[in-house]
Amino acid sequence: MALIRCPKHGIPFNDDNPRGCPACALEKEGGEQAQVMRELARASQVIRRPGAPTGPGVDFAPRRSERFTAPVTAPPRAPVFEPGPLDKLRLLVRRRPVPVIGIPLIVILLVALISRSGPSFVRLPSPVPLTGEVLPLPIEPGASLSTVFGVLGVQPPRPSPEGRALERYSYGTDLYIDALNGVVYIISMLVPNRSWHGLRVGISLREAEGSLALLGPPQPAAPPVMPRADTLRGVVVYPSLAGRPNRPLKAEVRPPNGCYDVVVDIQPQAAGVLVDRDRRYAVIGPPEAQLQWVATRVQVINRAVAGPAGPAVC
């Protein structure tokens, strides 16, 4: 075994040493360790994907070229809100409240005003159809007021439109007793649920003639009043209920059966009223309909004493 000196470091070493010069061996070992440390540092600087699991057996993050590769399936789209008609109207009302609310309101008011400005029909038959029981009126011309009060009840007097000398006692709006000097002078019935000797409001012309014939020969009480009819909205109308045609009939009762006149107004049956602003027309019916003549008023007048109807006749 012989000693050999290293030409590079000048260090003697045995020629049978496999490592050779110790200094050269250290340099060689130091270079390999440095290479390993550089590889470890490079591996520690690799960026892993967020949320990726860590631990033994986990591969490193993909390279930059692999991180931006498109996924196999597209991610789900976020739900998009599409406003409906009601939502659009609410949004429009919030943005422009005056035009959106004011203009339709004005249109509605104008339509309502125009519709109300035209004629409107009100079903109001005249005479009113009979409902309930018909009660006879047991009062005769010339009877005392005490009899009237006993049958109908006591009422305070008021002036009568039939004459200044008469006192009127009202029993409802359609039954009147006019008295002269404490006795019955005129009985006026415009209500259908009261009858006097078979006469009542609402009976037909034939029935009225038959009931009058039991009292005396029927005859015209006055010339017929036939005003001109008009046509509005396809129906025949007259200026008012009182302005309808009138064909009054009369029967004169004389002693020994009594001393009075019975007058019955015969007018067309009205189907209702046509209201046109401040005018009220009596509606008879369509132009092709026939007039139905009915009794609209029954009036009994005492002719035993002088009064507004004329002098005494018996």
**Alpha-carbon separation of residue 296 from 59, 97, 203, 227, 274 (angstroms):** 113, 58, 8, 17, 19
DSSP 8-state symbol, 312: -
Task: Quote the tokens at residue 249.
Answer: 């009939």
Q: Where are the alpha helices (DSSP H) in 261-306?
A: none
The pTM is what? Answer: 0.62
pLDDT of amino acid 132:
83
pLDDT, one tens digit per residue, over 129-140 is 888 889 999 999
- The span from the CA of 21 to the CA of 186, in Å, is 165
pLDDT of amino acid 66:
47
Identify the burial level of 183 via C-beta atoms within 10 angstroms of its C-beta, where 0-12 means exposed, 13-18 middle and 19 or more buried. Answer: middle
pLDDT of amino acid 256:
93
pLDDT, one tens digit per residue, over 257-291 is 999 999 999 999 999 998 887 788 999 989 888 88
Helix (H, G, I), strand (E, B) or coil at 104: helix
Please state the rounded mean pLDDT for residues 100-115.
Answer: 66
Please state the rounded mean pLDDT for residues 49-56.
Answer: 50
- The span from the CA of 24 to the CA of 10, in Å, is 11
CB 262 within 8 A of CB 250: yes
pLDDT, one tens digit per residue, over 196-244 is 999 999 999 999 999 999 999 999 999 999 999 999 888 999 999 999 9
In terms of average pLDDT, the best of 16-30, 109-123, 215-229 is 215-229
CB neighbour burial string for 294-309, b if at least 16 within 10 angstroms, e if fewer: bbbbbbbbbbbbebeb
